[in-house]
Chains A and B, each alone.
Chain A
Amino acid sequence: MADFLGTPFLWVVATIVLYGIAYWGYGKWIDRRVWRSDAKRTTPAHMYMDGVEYFPVSRYVLWGYQFKSVAALGPILGPFIGIKFGWLPALIWIIGGNFFIGWLQDYGAMMLSVRKEGRSFGPITYEFTGAKGRTNLLAFVLFYLIIISAAFIALIAVFWSKYPGTFIATVGIIFAGVLCGQLLYRVKMNVFAVTGIGLALVVLSIWIGVYTSAQWPSSFPTVLPLGDWTVPAWALLAVLILYAAAVLPTPLFVQPTNYLAFYPAYAAIILLFVAIACGAISGWHSLVSSSSSSKQLDIETDALPVGGGAMLSEGLLALVSLIAYMVLAPSFFAQGNYPSWVEGAIVLTSPFLGGRAAAGATLTVFFGLVLVIYALTVQALVTRFFRLVSAETWSEGRFRVFGNKHVATVVGLGIPWAFAVSGSWWALWLYFGGSNQLLAGLAIMLITIHLAKVRAPTRYSLIPAVFMIITTLAALAWQVYFFTKAVVDYLNGSSTGIFGNVRAPINKAPYALVALGINAVFVVIGAVLFLVGLSMAIRLFRSYLSSKAEARVKAPAAADGGTRER
């Protein structure tokens, strides 16, 4: 029995079978019974067709797009954090979380948006909870984005310092991206030719990364000889690149770079079949589902393969990612060595590529680069989004300076930078995970409200929503308590707590006051996230109760207990 449980292969088979049941059994059942998707009903893509935002797209294209958009980075590391608590709970969460909650959120968000004329979550929140609810959501999203940014910037900086050569390779890819953008839009070269040139440059960048790290193992382009200040300095470099990405026009920088970055990332999947997956549940997905996929859904019945199917496939990738960690010896985790995904990936792939001695250096740069470039491209989008949300929040009034393009970008990168270089990885990650999954809970709650309004069965989404909201709020509260305790301990004379929550170089006695300040800021951020999330949850729950009551009053005395949704 122990042998059986210890074999990853059997778990992969079991997960595939269970996901199959989730899709063809539970999924189809929900699709028929709860949402009653109807291929004949006109979707927003047809109703409002304009060839730009609203137009029908084949389900294959949309699946590819949705999968690419949801399989972001967080996740590579998600299973790693999970495995700290033992790999079995991590596995159970990847299977069970996705079975009952994950796909339901992505699919439900898409269906909700389709039924609401392709509107995204902002207007839907406004409809369900009023103007205050929407402002509340806006505030939550701002904090959420800051936390995401901090986690990603920390990740980029740590990888650059941990895997020499990846920085040079990253810079090479960015140059290649900008060059390709110019070739594509200025010179108007053929897309295939540009892609070919770009890929050659990507390979060249990786080669340069390997070469420089072998040639200059201890000077600038490979490592920053700054001692404890290395990570903050790398983080600052990342922030400068992201600043350019956020303020320059997209065709100049972000778009071609993202396009090129896609190829090494997927080459990594092919090499390893490990990707990059959140695995169970992420609130970001509901934003994607309702933002653009729902406007391009050809027929309603495509929502299950596109929304639910993409999410379940992502779960499979998370599983493989988890296995990449499982092949490592437990001693590896004991040091809190989170870049170990790269190690696991090398252990798995090097036997096929001529052994560790031959391919190790190239693979290190390659896999390290894949992670960095993924984080960087996703973060470029997040920073732009932060800028847009700031412009929306402070478009007028006394604080309108914060809506300014440059001010918003500086704020959206400066605060996360400070967190990234000061806070410990765990602190950032747990806040990130908490707010991300809380957003997922809130999204499922919106879906539930809609179902209540149209008198469809609500319990299949209400239970997951309540579960997600309560667990994530509890996690946030626990974190706040944890930081508060560190501060209180310091005031009582013990400073181990506050130093444990911050990163070098400020985790030593001369910086005690700085460390204390950082802890205090984490208390405030956590408390705000908790309170804003709680008030949003209360608003949504109230709206749910009133929708339920309203639907009950309106119910006709029909024999079948209700009518079809109109």
Chain B
Amino acid sequence: MDSTELLRKLSECVEMGKVNKDAPFPPAMKGMDGADELTKQALEMGIKPIEILNDALISAMEKVGEKFSQKKIFVPQMLISAKAMNASMEHLKPFFQSGEVKRKGKFIIGTVAGDLHDIGKNLVAMIVEGAGWEVIDLGVDVKTPKFLQAIADHPDAIVGLSALLTTTMQSMKNTVSEIHAQYPNIKLIVGGAPVTDAFSKEIGANAYAHDPQGAVSYLNAQVA
């Protein structure tokens, strides 16, 4: 198998959610090498980590994000693709840490104060990571000081705020203005089931993302 073919196969494994050889899903790929094995093989073959990231993982996760936006696939398929991506990323971690592979930037994400929902926030984190960003996940029920601390630690990051409840939209509003009061130039992107573009404008966020791919489009535009 040449390097182009190997990267194409790896990309397909991530898109279809084939984690490793033993993974039962998807049934059509039973017994075949998955993202785990193919990434190992690619590195052994001498393919550069940056090529693996760009030409296999990012392109696959972009397709996954687009299909999710169009509702051609749903949450389970997206999760299983993210799992395959993570299996591959494990092998790339040393290159991120050594600085050999640079990511596009940093993205801090958290569900706002008073809101304990994490499914939507996790989906965004996975897709953004799959798009080549370093993700700093602050978890759920994140109060403003925790966001401020994370921004102090990563001053070049873009920040994402998630809310599922209509009541916690108010926390989102407070956190946006408190962050901007201290860091007027930090870019804030908001999303979640009850959140709309109009709401994001009213509270002074820099952008609204309707779905994970929307967050990726905004982030990528900031570094293009």
Do A and B pair up? The answer is no
Chain B interfacial positions (CB closer than 8 Å to A)? none
Chain A interfacial positions (CB closer than 8 Å to B)? none
